[in-house]
Chains A and B, each alone.
Chain A
Amino acid sequence: MSGHVPVRNANRGVSQARDEMALGIQAMLASPLLVRERDEAAFTAVRRRRTELTAWFDYFCGWTLTVEPRQGYARLAKVRAADSHVAVPRPALRVRGSGAPFDRRRYTLFFLVAAELTVLSRTTVGLLAQRVAHTCAVEEGVPEFDSSVRAERAALVDALLLLEDYGALTSVDGSTESYIAGADAMVLYKADPARLARLLNAPVPPSRLGGAHPDLSELLAEERYGPRVDGAGTDGPEPGGGPNTAGGPGGGQDPGEGRDSGSGPTRNQRLLLARHSLMRRLLDDPVVYTADLSAGEAEYANTLTGRGLLRRAAREAGFRLEERAEGYLLVDVRGRTTDDVFPGEGNVKQTALLLLDVLLAAAEPLSLTSLTGEVEGLLERKPSWARSYRGEGGASQLTAAALGVLVGHGLARQEQGPERERGPADGPRYRALPAAHRYAVDRADFGQAGSGETGSGQKEQSQEGGQA
């Protein structure tokens, strides 16, 4: 039977496999903990291609992909160094309401609840709250939990809902949200210890580090790249031309090579690190600027192999790669792998587009004050526009939100230097980054074109909540 497959069918098979790979990669990038109930099609793709996908992520990014077909989830252990200014942390979002980001309290409760659940398979919201309160009382540095305070209950509910969203917790009876109304709500839960154990994926277990404050670089140290050199390879006095002269390309594993200060990583380990960290940035961040790359990464990106790998990764993952003088970015035309879309709908993003023009037109960084002035001008010129930002401080809120979008998409950055010299009165200064030019236009601007438009009410406001 199989020997007789017509050519066309074989081709279809190949293209289907390619599509499934791309879908799988994109799905895992979009939701590192992919739950079957949430996206059946994506999960099926991941399940079917799990061997290839696991190898793919491991090769390109050094990320571990675990697929549990029976338990209905797949987990991509995304590890990212916390050093890229483009990689603005993307927070956990509330499942409830407008989807605002978690705050410290919610994060704390999230982890505490998860910790309690690892030993409880079945429990109720009341018991859970009690245990959390108990742990809060015992743990040093964790504020006490008082279930009689509504705000506290709401925070707990947000934590619980997120756990439910990940499938780590299932409410068997009752709804979690009813707990907000009163601490006597009855909700029965069933926990999934396997998924709970997969919530954390830092390379180094947090309990091994201990302490009241984490050292992120220690937390994220991976053994596979060998011992860490301080500065993670960004500094100059690396072996530099050494490998070329001595080992050559065929050198393979030569442990003596890279060790200049005691026991540094080997050449292979450094190459691996360069490839992985470069790919991690590319696949996770909106833009990768060459200027931000470490020496190793930049070097790797400049080699023929490196360039080839970037293109291959983009192609296989179903993205378009934009290679520009200043850096790279992936374009996801379907918008499947992004938590936020820019340019997008709503007052904030509209403002962001307009500020982008302003920033691009300016020769040097603009202060927050002057940018706020621009937005104030807009608000004045268009009386019916952006109604929800008409109140006291609305203009600065809108400006901050719009700048947040730009910074989050790697299109602008806050200048570090001059702000101190000029004093705090002027506020921080912002500069457009090269990729901002992608959205530059010379068409009719907002002031004229959209004069008939009315403000777009609260709906967009709520979408924007995540960016605030």
Chain B
Amino acid sequence: MTGGAGVQGFERLPARVFDFTSGSRRDLYFAILHVFNDANERLETALLLEQVHDRLPGTGFTEPAEEPEVEAALRHLESIGLLESAQSYTAAYATAAEFERKNVQYTLTARGEAEFAGVRLVLERLKERGALQTAVLDAVADRLDGLHALMGADDPAQDSRVFTTLQELEGHLDSLRDNTKRFNNELQRLLRSGGADLDTFHEVKRATVGYLDAFVDNLEERARGIADALARVEGHGAEGRGVEGMLERALAGANLPPSATDRVREDWLAARRTKWSGLRLWFAPTEDGQEGVRRLHEVARRAIGSLLEALERITESRRRASSTAEDLRAAARWCAGAETTENAHRLWQALTGLSPARHAVLGHTDDELIAPGTAWAAADPVPVSANLRSSGRSGRVARTARVRDVGETARLRRERARAQRAEVERALGRLATDGPVRLSAFGDMEHDLFEHLLALLGQALSESVRDDGTRRALTSDGRMEIVLVPPPDRGEATLRTPRGVFSGPDYVVSISVPGGAGPRPERGLE
């Protein structure tokens, strides 16, 4: 947790610490330490037995304690290192025995002081209630601003103020963290507890919700203010020395006693850095916003939700009589407790009435033929489809015909079209000539090919004759060109196909693919 730079290893408590808080005489021990502590606060460092004895009632310790008993207690405390004793020469003694007994002065050791402080802290903590204080947030922002201002003026005389401001800042941060921690704990306990006393519980929860609401409202804005101030303080790093510089000035201002070694100073600085990083953890913006604040926010918001829910439950249980929810819950309880599933069905039907009706579906075509009051056994049976008996399938209702898959048909058609197209192209390709040839050169040819040729010829013949006496035509898709030159002689061309014979003027034709890109496979002519 304390990942600060200066802290090494795990901190250990001295053995048998807080021993005085156990055992039958622990109250007396505590009272005695109380006495010493009070004395310490008045800068009275050493106490005699009778002084201790006299002051015991002042601590609120009311049990009667005789001097010997107190003395035994003092000796015990001395034995566990909480007290030290020394001879005193200032008191008046009547006898040697008295001198022996009464001249001993007791002083609190450092350890005694620490243990007493620890116990005190425990007691305080136990009494404290967590609180979310927006004022603390304001104070944190104020101190940061203060630091910023102090660092602006690089004045060594202000070092002590840097120190105090920093200390205050740390104090506020601690208080914020402690309070939040504690508050959160209490909150969780509040959320968990069903609450025996509904009214109080109700009040507490409602108050808590209001409190959280107000807190959440303020949190965002204040946190942003703090983040800005934090950035300003750290921003001094650009021209000055930033946080490190500030810490060094604080160290200078802290006026550590001359006994402090470098090691102590380094530890001091490390402790400050840890605190500072704690501050950053709470308020410095990260990628997901301000980490600590965001978590606080979340806790608060979730708590509001859960509390409201709990409140709802309470309110609900109050208007028990008319509540739908309560009815439904009772229904659920009954269903859970039903002995059989059958019973649960019955319950469902009774509770909701949501079950559909059930009726016969087969009737006589003419029911007037059977007189009312005839016994069922005597009346004709209703016609039942023989199929239902024999195959378990109804003869009346035929299965829906399978819907044709239109997509499949479309695909088939597309494919057929593509095939056709390819066929035509191949045919036309075979018609192409390498130059002008006589029509008669085509000779015998397939019928399909002939039809294509005929179509081309027809197209060409329908064109008007050009100046050079040729006719030219392009197929409609522009892929083939036919040039027709009137026959130089009166020759007659005869083309044979499996289906018949064609004869006509023996034109000179040249069929070509304009771009030359078309397929030019095997020719249809010899």
Contacts and interface: CB of A to CB of B under 8 A. Distances in A.
Contacts of A91: 344-345, 348-349, 355
B334 A206 contact: yes
Given A104-B338, A325-B375, A339-B356, A119 B316 contact: yes
Interface in B311-349: 312, 316, 320-338, 341-342, 344-349
Interface in A320-355: 320, 322-326, 329-335, 337-347, 349-350, 353-354
Interface string A217-239: 00110000000000000000000
B354 interface: yes
Contacts of B367: 320, 322, 331
A439 B393 CA distance: 16
A216 B359 contact: no
B351 A102 contact: no
A443 B381 CA distance: 12
Interface in A87-134: 89-92, 101-105, 107-112, 114-116, 118-119, 131
Nearest to A325: B375
Given A142-B333, A331-B360, A89 B355 contact: yes
Contact of A108 (B323, B335, B361): B335
A82 interface: yes
B344 A102 contact: yes
A284 interface: yes
A82 B389 contact: no
Contacts of B23: none
A206 B338 contact: no
Contact of B331 (A197, A206, A337, A353): A206
A408 to B, nearest CB: 7
Given A32-B353, A200-B324, A453-B390, A103 B341 contact: yes
A437 interface: yes
Contact of B394 (A196, A345, A408): A345
B391 interface: yes
B345 A324 contact: no
A337 B351 contact: no
A107 B323 contact: no
Nearest to A193: B324
Nearest to A408: B358
Contacts of A456: 391-393
A257 interface: no
Contact of A338 (B337, B356, B373, B391): B356
B337 A141 contact: yes
A435 interface: yes
A466 to B, nearest CB: 11
Contacts of A346: 392
B395 to A, nearest CB: 10
Nearest to B340: A104
Contact of A349 (B333, B334, B354, B392): B392
Interface size class of B (residues with CB under 8 A): 35 or more
Nearest to A333: B363
B377 interface: yes
Contact of B361 (A78, A110, A142, A332): A332
Contact of A201 (B334, B335, B353, B379): B353
Contacts of B79: none
Contacts of A77: 353
B335 A111 contact: yes
Interface size class of A (residues with CB under 8 A): 35 or more
Name, among B316, B351, B372, the residue most crowded by chain A CB atoms within 10 Å (CB to CB).
B351
A434 B350 contact: no
Contacts of B379: 324, 437-438
Name, among A114, A206, A331, A446, the residue most crowded by chain B CB atoms within 10 Å (CB to CB).
A206
A286 B359 contact: yes
Given A82-B350, A324-B376, A338-B361, A441 B384 contact: yes
A102 B344 CA distance: 9
A183 interface: no
A111 B330 CA distance: 8
Nearest to B373: A325
Contacts of A325: 373-376, 378
Contact of B356 (A29, A197, A200, A342): A29
A450 B390 contact: yes
Nearest to B334: A214
A135 interface: yes
B388 interface: yes
Nearest to A166: B354
- What 9 A-B pairs come out closest when comparing CB atoms? A450-B390, A78-B353, A331-B363, A350-B392, A111-B332, A115-B328, A89-B345, A90-B355, A323-B372
16 contacts: A30-B357, A104-B338, A107-B344, A108-B332, A109-B332, A115-B329, A166-B354, A197-B324, A199-B352, A202-B353, A331-B363, A343-B389, A345-B393, A409-B360, A441-B384, A453-B392
Interface of A: 29-33, 76-80, 82, 89-92, 101-105, 107-112, 114-116, 118-119, 131, 135, 139-143, 166, 196-197, 199-202, 205-210, 212-214, 216, 219-220, 283-287, 319-320, 322-326, 329-335, 337-347, 349-350, 353-354, 408-409, 434-441, 443-446, 449-450, 453, 456, 460
Given A78-B354, A438-B360, 17 more contacts: A32-B355, A92-B352, A111-B329, A115-B324, A202-B352, A202-B353, A214-B350, A219-B350, A287-B360, A323-B373, A325-B378, A332-B360, A338-B361, A340-B358, A346-B392, A435-B360, A453-B392
